[in-house]
Every structure is written in structure tokens, then in C-alpha cells.
Amino acid sequence: MQLPSLNEIESAAELIAPYVSPTPQYQWPLLSDRCNAEVWVKHENTTPIGSFKIRGGITYMADLDTSRVICATRGNHGQSVAYAARIFGMQATVVVPKDNSAAKNTSMRAFGATLVEYGRDFTEAHEYAHHLAIEQNFHFVPSFHRNLVVGVATCGLELLKCVPELDEVYVPVGLGSEICAMIAVREALGLKTEIIGVVADKAPAYALSFEKGQVVSTDSADTFADGVAVRVPDAEALSIMTQHVSRFIRVTEREIADAMRFYFTDTHHVVEGAGASSLAALIKDESRSDNRRAGVIASGGNVNLDLYWKILNGSYSFD
């Protein structure tokens, strides 16, 4: 895949502007003290769907000539498809795993999507969504595609234009649109910012694939950080990462939960597991020198109330 150009990303920003305002990037003193670094948080948890995914959904679906779309998701991609479908007058069907986040399911229905629950994880839901697309003649909206990356890159453009002197940016990796978008912006702006991928220790497929230089699938992705719960990496996304990402960091469930609490205590923001994983990686990163200027992407804020309450009060079981 050819990385989007600066002109393409700026055009995407103009397309998105009527629906999504630029999200803030703040330097939080308490987080900076905690990390012994100047920490800038890109707050994608503040978009109309509480996730960066909304940007790609709009750019992907703006040019579609269809009335019916379908996708598979753990939540945020599905919300973006449902939101964009409503904008452009389409009917959206979203396939989710049977144990999917109730909060995200409720949100997708509120945006007008028809929900289908199938399978034990994203991979099985994804396969079934493909089957329904063929059977019922829906347009299938993938979770990784160049048109998604162009839209998502507007997030990176906002951040790196505001804080171009960042030494590094830590990016959660689901199927890869966000980190590939950040790469595209860095390259388009000619910056030296180091880009570091983050995965959950219980969903290490991309980290393993990065190490091997080829797609490595896993049997499970049993993490509460559902936005990074991926078993089968996308080969095209991996190819971009192997060329441009410095390294990957794997974070444990406990480290992710700690980061979610730190976001609440230090910034008063609600950030879901996948979104908090980048902060967890910054805290864990033994390769980082102190007193650097670091960016973290709070990629989403959609978390079930019962899970969030257990994490905040320390009663969540990691067994």
C-alpha cells in the first residue's frame, strides 16, 4: 500500500470537518511527573463515537455507491461504520462476537446499525460477516484499508502539527489503521519522531509478526482491551510496520488497568483498555531515556461500566 500523501490527508480533514471537530492534545503535568517525561495525550476518546475510528469510517464511505454495508467489529470500527452510514443514508449491519462489549453494542444500535452476534472472537465474527456480505449482497467494510488510513491520518496530522518535536509516539495496534496513519503523517511532514507499536500481552499477534517479518496468527486474543484483541494480522499493514515502526511493546492486563486508573486520576478522562495501552507502554518502556517528549494516543473511551468500576476500585481479577 502506498502511504497517503499530505495533500490526501489534508483533503480528508476538510471532508471530516463538518462531522468531527479536531480533538485536543494536552500535556498533563501529573502524567508527565509519573512518567518522568513530557507526555502529550491525543484525546481520540472525545470524538462523537469516543474513538479515532470515526475518521476512517467517513472517508471510506463518502465515495461508496451502495445502500447497504456490513462489517465485523469489537465495537469502535462498527460505531464508525454505523455513524457514517447514517450520514450518507445507508443501512449498516454490524457483526460482533457473542461476548462483545454491551456498551459498544448499545452505541452501535443507537447510531442505527442492525447488530448480529456471532462467534467467539473478532476472527469468527469477521468470517461470518464476509459470508453475509456475499449471501445478501452487502458491501463489506474492512477494518484495514487505505481509504480508512487516509481518514485516520487526520488524527496524526493534528498531533504532529501541534507538537512536531515529539521524540516518540506510542500507538495501540488493532488491525493497524492507526499506526499506519501515524507513519504516513510522519513521513509526509518529514519528521524524525519514533513510532512504537503497542499490543496486549494476551493478544501478541502483531508483535510476534513484527519479530518474524511475516504474519503470525495466534489461537486466542483473550484480553479485556478488546480494541487490540486480534489473532490474525493484516499482511499489508504488517508490511508497512516492518518498514517504519521502531519496535513493539507488549503490556500486561494489569499494566493496562493501571494506565486506565492513571488516566482517571491524572486527567479525569475515561479511556478504554486499548486506548490506555499506549500509556502503559510508555511507563513500561525500558529503552526510553528520561525527560523526553512523548506522545500517547488515547484511541478510545468506550468501556463497560461494570468493568471500569472493577478496574478503578482494584477488584478486577487478572486470573
What pLDDT is recorded for position 289?
A: 82
Q: What is the pLDDT of residue 179?
A: 98
> How far, in Å, CA of 235 to CA of 249, rounded?
19
pTM (two decimals) = 0.95
Helix (H), strand (E) at residue 310: helix 305-313
Residue 108 burial by Cβ neighbours in a 10 Å radius (0-12, 13-18, 19+): buried
pLDDT of residue 195: 98
Domains of the chain: 6-52+146-313 (3.40.50.1100), 53-140 (3.40.50.1100)
pLDDT (0 to 100) of residue 293: 96
Give the tens place of pLDDT for each residue, 115-163.
999 999 998 999 999 999 999 999 999 999 999 999 999 999 999 999 9
Mean pLDDT split into 10-residue runs, the chain, 319 residues: 97 97 97 96 97 97 95 93 96 94 90 95 93 96 96 98 96 97 98 98 98 95 94 96 98 98 98 98 90 95 94 91
